[in-house]
Amino acid sequence: MDRVNKPAPEQGIKKKILVTGGAGYIGSHVVKALGERGHDVLVFDNLSTGRRDLVLHGTLVVGDLQDLELLDNTLKKFRPDAVMHFAASISVFESVQDPMKYYRNNTVNTINLIDIVVQNGVQNLVFSSTAAVYGVPAQNRPVDERATLLPINPYGWTKLMAERVLQDLSDASRAFHYVSLRYFNVAGADSGGRIGQRYPVSTHIITRCLKAAKGELAVLPIYGTDYPTSDGTCIRDYIHVDDLADAHIAALDHLLGGGTSEVFNCGYGHGTSVRDVVKAAKKVTGVDFRVTEEGRRPGDPPFLVADPSKLIRALSWKPRYDDLRYIVETAWNWEKSL
């Protein structure tokens, strides 16, 4: 029998969840949320960009997704109820320079993982996808999940291909189900300052503003001031990482409750310009860091805002931190601690 949507499992029922990439920025916030709900968590991470000290709950297995034997043994021993798959390469710019790394890490590794997951009888998978699957949306309006899928960089294609594999497998199988979450601009950090974004090189605007406030970046360049937007700079939908973690918990509950395979946008449904992000960062940090106006960064869509209605409606997702000031404050508290 095909599964139908059923109510989420009762709160407090402990499940075994395997989290690939759980030592990374988003993965570690989801591991925190899983731990707070009493789930038994096993993190599988090669620590190439993740960090051991970001894993607040569960057990860490240091391993690479290309090590299929270790992955298979880990699944056989742990016998998870669900897998949450974060491990991936995430830089749009790097994906243009080195596409094969992205196809290997994001598409091939996902296919191998799915194969092993299915062979081990695991029926539920939550997948980290991205707004990059939409490319440049046709109009300056929030995009819903039915919008045209036309990535403009290898990163977006690698994720879209993995989504397609999941969809085809789910269509063909009566047992396997997945939820793909398409992230918009994820930012902020744990309110307690325990975990946050920590990449070797920061490309994201909020983190770069904070690096400029700390003096680690001499100047914050604004890439493009002639876009067809309210103040000429790009508009993005910044979502707090703990709200995104809640969306993962809702997706997991949906699958564990017997729910169908689904795709959801994750954002708040309204946008903020780069200039407004810079203003907020200056206000929160109290530092009037130097800003220059530069040309456009290749591959930036002018306007990228989620329509999150489906997530709110189908998974009863209730964002708690839809507040740019809070997002920047939590990121700043974390950044100061580094």
- Residue in 226, 211, 248 with CA at minimum distance from that of residue 36: 248
Q: CA gyration radius for the chain? A: 19
3-class SS of residue 43: strand
Beta strands of the chain (E only): which ranges?
Answer: 16-20, 40-45, 59-62, 82-85, 124-130, 177-183, 185-187, 220-223, 235-236, 238-240, 262-266, 272-273, 291-294, 303-304
Min dist. Cβ of residue 130 to ligand UFG (A): 5
Where in 140-169 is the site for ligand UFG (CB under 6 A)?
A: 155
Min dist. Cβ of residue 151 to ligand UFG (A): 9
Out of 130, 261, 272, 285, the only residue in the binding site for ligand UFG (CB under 6 A) is 130
State the Cα–Cα distance between residues 19 and 41, nearest whole angstrom.
Answer: 7
Identify the active-site residue in 25, 102, 134, 155. Answer: 155
CB 86 within 8 A of CB 236: no
Burial of 23 (0-12, 13-18, 19+ CB in 10 A): buried
Q: Is residue 204 part of the contact set for ligand UFG (CB under 6 A)? A: yes
Min dist. Cβ of residue 58 to ligand UFG (A): 25
Tokens representing residue 276 in the block: 């407004």
Q: How far is CA 131 from each of CA 145, 296, 309, rounded to the nearest angstrom?
A: 10, 19, 15
Min dist. Cβ of residue 213 to ligand UFG (A): 13
Q: Is residue 276 part of the contact set for ligand UFG (CB under 6 A)? A: no
The smaller minimum CB distance to ligand UFG, of residues 20 and 158, is found at 158
The DSSP letter of residue 143 is: B
227 is catalytic: no
Q: Is residue 86 part of the contact set for ligand UFG (CB under 6 A)? A: no
The smaller minimum CB distance to ligand UFG, of residues 8 and 274, is found at 274
Q: Is residue 222 part of the contact set for ligand UFG (CB under 6 A)? A: yes
Out of 65, 87, 122, 274, the only residue in the binding site for ligand UFG (CB under 6 A) is 274
Min dist. Cβ of residue 190 to ligand UFG (A): 19
Residue span 17-56 as binding mask against ligand UFG, x where in contact by CB under 6 A, dash where not = ----------------------------------------
End-to-end CA distance of the chain: 51
Where in 226-255 is the site for ligand UFG (CB under 6 A)?
A: 234, 236
* Residues carrying an active site annotation: 155
Residues that bind ligand UFG (CB under 6 A): 90, 92, 130-132, 155, 185, 203-205, 208, 220-223, 234, 236, 274, 297, 300-301, 304
